[in-house]
Amino acid sequence: MTDAPPLLTAVEDGILIATLNRPDKLNALNKPMLALIEEAVARFRDTAELKVMLIRSTGRYFCAGADLKTDDHGGMVYGNGPDTGSGVREMHRRGLHGMQRMYDEMEAIEKPFVVAHHGTCMGGGLEISLSCDFRLAAKSARYAFPEGRFGVVPASNGVSRLTRIVGTHWARYLLMANLVADADKALYMGLVHEVFPDESFEEDVMKFCRHLAQQNGEQMGAAKIAIELARDVGLAQARNVERLANSSLMLGPAYREGYKQYTSGIGSKVKDG
């Protein structure tokens, strides 16, 4: 496996599938893998035919986090870093810039990102997952931030995005208590959207992604922006966000045709899934 690329990509039914492929290293993130993920994100952004991006992995772990056994995992250095507080902050700002740039891009692209977790998802693997729009778990999935074991907090998304998704209550569970959440607890806390049986996990994930690929792209893009904005502003301004979104969507042919079909009875029964 040493000669295999650290990220595999394939396209199926309009879905760009990016597979973490360092199973012998538990899919730990390093610079070559992160660079390939960023290339895949740009390809997804720039290719109109691609409707959904799915991130998954090979091996028994989804991702063990950053590859701490080398200095080749995104620019951070643990154990031999600066000896002043300002130095540490600057190391974080500069060393994590590449990952944060990619996370920001994933959150800004008006198409859905899906991540599929089997086995353990830790540290940096969970941080990149927090920038995805949908997180799907196999029953065997486990979630943790190991940074607490050596006296620090996760430095990119692990506090900021995690707290925005699960709230302070469950952020304390993962970051202060340093406890592991199984798939069912992750679903309960709102960290993941669905938990599927291990036996049918790949099939269930692809079914979910195909469903997304069939949705109206303009509506999903507008909804993605509106949801982020509505979370950050007051109720009155959030309603303005709704109005702005629909002022564009309702003038398009997709809305007119969809509304016509729905009111004629085609959409009168909403199918599960």
Name the pLDDT band for 271 (thresholds 50, 70, 90). Answer: low
Task: Report the pLDDT averaged over residues 241-268.
Answer: 81
Q: Report the b/e string of 125-134 with b at 16+ CB within 10 A.
A: bbbbbbbbbb
Determine the Cα–Cα distance for residues 265 and 262; give it in Å rounded to an integer: 5
Q: Average pLDDT in the 47-68 region?
A: 94
CA–CA separation, 153 and 145 (whole Å): 8
**Mean pLDDT to the nearest integer, 204-225:** 96
Question: CATH assignment of 7-213?
Answer: 3.90.226.10
Tell me: the pLDDT tens digits for 16-51? 999 999 999 999 999 899 999 999 999 999 999 999
Average pLDDT across the chain, whole number = 89
- Give yes or no for residue 94 having a pLDDT over 90: no
Residue 147 confidence class, pLDDT cut points 50, 70, 90: confident
- Rounded to 5°, the CA angle 226-184-169 comes to 60
- Where are the domains positioned within the chain? 7-213, 217-263
pLDDT at position 254 is: 82
Whole-number pLDDT of residue 253 = 83
pLDDT class of 188 with cuts at 50, 70, 90: very high
The Cα–Cα gap between 139 and 205 comes to: 13
| Alpha helices, DSSP H, located in the chain | 31-46, 85-95, 97-108, 123-129, 160-175, 183-189, 201-213, 217-232, 235-249, 253-263
Opening angle at CA 21, ends 20 and 23, nearest 5: 115
Who contacts 37 (Cβ-Cβ below 8 Å, separation ≥6)? 7, 18, 55, 102, 128
User: What's residue 67's pLDDT?
Assistant: 82
Across 77-110, b (16+ Cβ under 10 Å) vs e yields: eeeeeeeeeeeeeebbeebbebbbebbeebbebe
> Regarding predicted confidence, which is higher, 91 or 60?
60
- The DSSP bridge partners found for residue 120 are 142
Looking at residue 1, its pLDDT comes to 45
Tally of CB atoms within 10 A around 238 = 15
Q: Check residue 74 and give its pLDDT.
A: 46
Size of the chain in residues: 273
Q: Which of 43-52, 95-104, 183-192, 195-204 has the lowest mean pLDDT?
A: 95-104
The reported pTM is 0.89
Summarised one tens digit per residue, pLDDT across range 157-187 is 889 999 999 999 999 999 999 999 999 999 9
At 82, the pLDDT band (50, 70, 90 cuts) reads: confident
